Structure 1
Amino acid sequence: MTQGVQDSAWAGAPPRAPEPVRVPQQARTESDSVRERGAASGAVRGEHTHSETPLPGPRPVIQRSSVRGQILDALRTALLAGELCPGEVYSAPALGERFGVSATPVREAMQQLAQEGAVEVVPNRGFRIVQRDARELAELAEVRSLIEVPVLLRLARTVPSETWVELRPVAEATVRAAATGCRATYAEADRAFHRALLSLSGNEQLVKVAEDLQRRTQAPQIGRPVARGRTELMADAAHHAALLDALIAGDLESVHLLIGEHFA
C-alpha cells in the first residue's frame, strides 16, 4: 500500500484499540497449593512466610543458653554492689570486654535495664547509670505502699492461714540471704518474698508493677554508702518473718503496722 493510501485509510476509519495481551494459564501443581496454604496461614498470624514449603518431619526442640540473661543478672549485681557508679556512662563494648562477651548481649541487657529505669540511653556513647536521691526513693516507697498495703490487708482477711504457712520457706530464705551480707543476694530474695505474697491476689499485672517499683527502690542512693550492713539487712528480713506470723495468726492490726514499718 502506498503512503497516500495509508493516510487516506487512517483518516477515514476510527482508531482501533490494541488487543489485550493474553498470558496462557499455567497448570497448577501440588507445590503451588502448599505455598498458598502456607502464605494464608502466615497472613493470619501477621507473619511473612516468603512462600516457603514447610519442612517435613517433626519440629525440633531448640535449646540455647541465655547469654543475655546471664549478663543481665551480672549487671544487676554490679549495680547493687556499687561497681557501676550512678551518673557514670558505660559503653556496651567496654562492658562486654569486662564480662568476656560481645557487645550485643550487653546492649540487649542494658536495654532491659533502661526499661526498668536503672539506666538511661546516651546516644552514641552508651548507658548512664540512673542517679536517685532520697526524695525519689521515698516517693517510690510511698507508691509501693499505696499498692501493696491494701492488697495485703484484703488478703489477710480472705486467705486461710494454711496458705500463709506455705510461704514460710520464702520468708526464711530472706533471712539466710541477709545473713550473707550480700546486697544483691538479699535483693533477689526480698523480691521473691513480696512476689509470693502478692501472687495470692491472682492479679499478674499487679505483681509485675509492684516488682518493677521494688527494683527501682533497690537502686543505690546518691550520697549514701552502697553497701547496706548485714545488721540492716537482717532487720529488714526480720520484718518478713514477723509479717508472715501476723498473717498466719490473722492479726490485721499487726499486719497493718508491720507493713507500714517495712516500707518506711
Structure 2
Amino acid sequence: MAQEPQKRLIELYEKGILTKEEARACFLEFDEEPDFLVEEEKPRLSFTLPRLKIFSSSKLKQEYAFADIESLFISMSEGKVSFVKNKSDQVQIYLVYPQQTNQAFLPQIYVENQGLHFASNLPCHLTVSLPEQWMSILNLDLGRADARLDYLPFEDISIHSSTDKKQQDIRITAMNLMSQHLFLQLVQAPVYLQVPKQQGLRGKVESSTGQLVVNRKKKPSPYFCEKKGDCLLYLHIKTVNSPISVKGVQHAIRIL
C-alpha cells in the first residue's frame, strides 16, 4: 500500500500539477518505479484538454436570474442589449464582456425595491430575458450601445442615447396588450419603431434643429401624429437630427 508521500505524488499527477517526468523523478527518490504513469496517461490528457479550451476564450460569460422584479434600470456605454421573452417567471440576464478587465470597471448588478439595476462601462453584450407578465418601468441608458428591443412588457419606457454617431442601431417593437408610454431622447441615432397594426398611436416628435426625417420624409418640428386603434402607444421623441422610421402605421400617421 502506498504511503502518504507516494499518495500525495499520485494526487498531484492526476490533477495535472506534475508532469509524467516530474512524477517519475520523485518516485525514483523512493527507489520505486511508478507503473501507473503509463496506464493513466490517457485519462490525464482527457482531463486537461477541456481546461485549455475554456481558458483560451477572450470573453467572460455570466448568467443571472431574479424573481419578483417589476422594473429595470439599465445603463450601458458601449456594446449591445437585447430584450427577449422567456417561459420562466424570472428575469434572466445573460452577460458577455472582455476577459481582460480591470476589477474597478466590472459590470454592477443589484436589486432594490423590486427594481433590477445594471450598469456597465465596458463594451458588453447584454441579453435580458423577460417573463410573460406586465411590468412597470424600463429606464434604458444606451450611451452608444445598439439595442434590439423585441419584447417590452412595460407600462413606462424611457430610452436615452448620448452618442453623436449615426452608426448606432436602435430597434423597438411595441406591444398591444396594454397602453404604454414610450419616451426617446436621442442625438443622431436612427430609430426603427415597429407598431402592431391594431395598436393605436398618439405621438409627438421634436427636433432641436427644427426639422425631422420621419419615414424618409422631411417634416417640420414638432411633428404630431396619431392613429386609431386599441391599447394606445403614447410616443414622445426628442432628438437633434435622428432619422425616425415607424413601421405598421406609416399610412395612418397624420399631422393634427
Rg larger for: 1
Structure with the larger strand share: 2
TM-score (structure 1 length as normaliser): 0.25
Q: Which has the higher contact order (CA 8 A, sep 6+)?
A: 1
